[in-house]
């Protein structure tokens, strides 16, 4: 039985004070049975990590460098994230792929670095509206996952979380229907099943894209949806906790 993970991706939002308030709000609430993780902007990781000590809430980064150390201005290594207390790192978020031109191979390299530092990568995959309309959703998701399989194998996926995030649903208020989301989640699990059924059954596959307290319960009740990667609604402690409670 897979447990539910509700992860908040705070993106580049907030200030030191608003981040402190948000963490206090989440700590004060009741997440039900779901595991929680929060991914604040990197400059606040140490602060948030300290505030989360002994709460059971995990800390995650929004990205991780594909190299170990050295002259990579502006990047943050997996080992540094580990020292900040990160258990998770998002890799391949569609904003990174689209706005910062991260290729499937770069995302795979980032994934690999996270694993080697003992950080659980949250691998984001998903199609654009154009790709959905062209009927190539499965091709796109396959290509994105195959890049990681080529570098890290199914053993790598076994130590990761996958997040299916249709690009057209991110930050748009347009949410995939539970049926649309479930179909892609089931496709991903079936694809992994061909390589290792134990891994396929155990790996958590989160949904992301305009999940909020009013649509979460139905999405999270789908058999292959094991949690959520939440953007906008994760910036309000009450909404984030309400989503967790419906898991
Ligand atoms: P959203 O973002 O919930 O604001 O759509 C999700 C994400 O980008 O992970």
pLDDT on residue 171:
85
Q: Which of 102, 127, 165, 185 is catalytic?
A: 165
Specify burial of residue 218 (Cβ count, 10 A radius: 0-12, 13-18, 19+). middle
Q: Where are the beta strands (DSSP E) in the chain?
A: 5-9, 35-39, 58-61, 86-91, 120-125, 161-164, 205-208, 227-230
C-alpha 161/C-alpha 190 separation (Å) is: 15
C-alpha 246/C-alpha 192 separation (Å) is: 27
Kindly state the average pLDDT of the residues 226-239. Answer: 98
List the end-to-end C-alpha distance of the chain, in Å, as a whole number.
14
| CA 93 to ligand 1 center in whole angstroms | 10
Nearest CA to ligand 1 atom 3: 231
Closest residue by Cα to residue 220 from 20, 31, 15, 18: 31
Residue 1 has pLDDT above 80, yes or no: no
Please tell me what DSSP assigns to residue 159.
T
Average pLDDT for the chain = 97
pLDDT on residue 113:
98
pLDDT on residue 195:
98
Find the length of the chain. Answer: 247
Which of 3.40.50.150, 2.40.10.170, 3.20.20.105, 3.20.20.70 is the CATH number of 5-246? 3.20.20.70
Q: From the centroid of its chain, how far is CA 99?
A: 18
Kindly state the average pLDDT of the residues 88-102. Answer: 98
Q: Are 218 and 178 in contact, with CB atoms under 8 Å apart?
A: yes
| 143-169 pLDDT tens trace | 999 999 999 999 999 999 999 999 999
pLDDT class for 175, splitting at 50, 70, 90?
confident
| CA 157 to ligand 1 center in whole angstroms | 22
242 CB-near residues (< 8 Å, 6+ apart): 213, 216
pLDDT on residue 173:
84
Is position 185 annotated as part of the catalytic site? no
Task: Tell me which residue has tokens 């993106």.
Answer: 11
Residue 82 has pLDDT above 80, yes or no: yes
Which of 12-16, 31-35, 173-177: highest mean pLDDT?
12-16
C-alpha 20/C-alpha 18 separation (Å) is: 5
Residue 238 has pLDDT above 80, yes or no: yes
| 29-48 pLDDT tens trace | 999 999 999 999 999 999 99
pLDDT on residue 174:
85
The conformational region for residue 153 under phi > 0 = left, psi -120 to 50 = alpha, else beta, is left
| CA 96 to ligand 1 center in whole angstroms | 13
| 62-71 pLDDT tens trace | 999 999 999 9
> What dihedral do alpha carbons 122, 113, 137, 224 form, nearest 10°?
-30
pLDDT on residue 44:
98
Is position 93 annotated as part of the catalytic site? yes
pTM listed for this prediction: 0.98
C-alpha 103/C-alpha 144 separation (Å) is: 9
Helix axes 137-158, 178-193, angle to 10 degrees: 50
Kindly state the average pLDDT of the residues 171-182. Answer: 92
Residue to probe by mutation, ligand 1, list 208, 215, 228, 234, most atoms within 8 Å of CB? 208
Q: What are phi and psi of 224, to 5 degrees?
A: -105, 10
C-alpha 50/C-alpha 218 separation (Å) is: 34
């Amino acid at each position: 039985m897979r447990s539910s993970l509700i992860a908040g991706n705070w993106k580049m939002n907030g200030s030191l004070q608003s981040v402190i308030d948000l963490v206090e709000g989440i700590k004060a609430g009741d997440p039900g049975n779901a595991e929680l993780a929060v991914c604040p902007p990197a400059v606040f990781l140490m602060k948030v990590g300290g505030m989360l000590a002994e709460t059971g809430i995990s800390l995650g980064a929004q990205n991780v460098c594909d190299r170990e150390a050295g002259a990579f201005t502006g990047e943050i290594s997996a080992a540094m994230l580990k020292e900040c207390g990160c258990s998770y790192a998002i890799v391949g978020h569609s904003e990174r792929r689209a706005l910062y031109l991260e290729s499937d191979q770069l995302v795979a390299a980032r994934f690999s670095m996270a694993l080697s530092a003992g950080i659980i990568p949250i691998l984001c995959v998903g199609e654009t509206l154009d790709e959905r309309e062209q009927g190539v959703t499965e091709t796109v998701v396959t290509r994105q996952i195959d890049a990681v399989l080529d570098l890290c194998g199914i053993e790598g996926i076994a130590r990761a979380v996958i997040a299916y995030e249709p690009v057209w649903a991110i930050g748009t208020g347009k949410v995939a229907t539970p049926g649309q989301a479930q179909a892609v989640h089931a496709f991903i699990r079936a694809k992994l099943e061909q390589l290792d059924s134990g891994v396929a059954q155990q790996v958590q596959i989160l949904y992301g894209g305009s999940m909020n307290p009013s649509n979460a319960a139905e999405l999270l009740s789908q058999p292959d949806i094991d949690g959520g990667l939440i953007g906008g609604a994760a910036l309000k402690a009450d909404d984030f906790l309400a989503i967790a409670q419906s898991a």
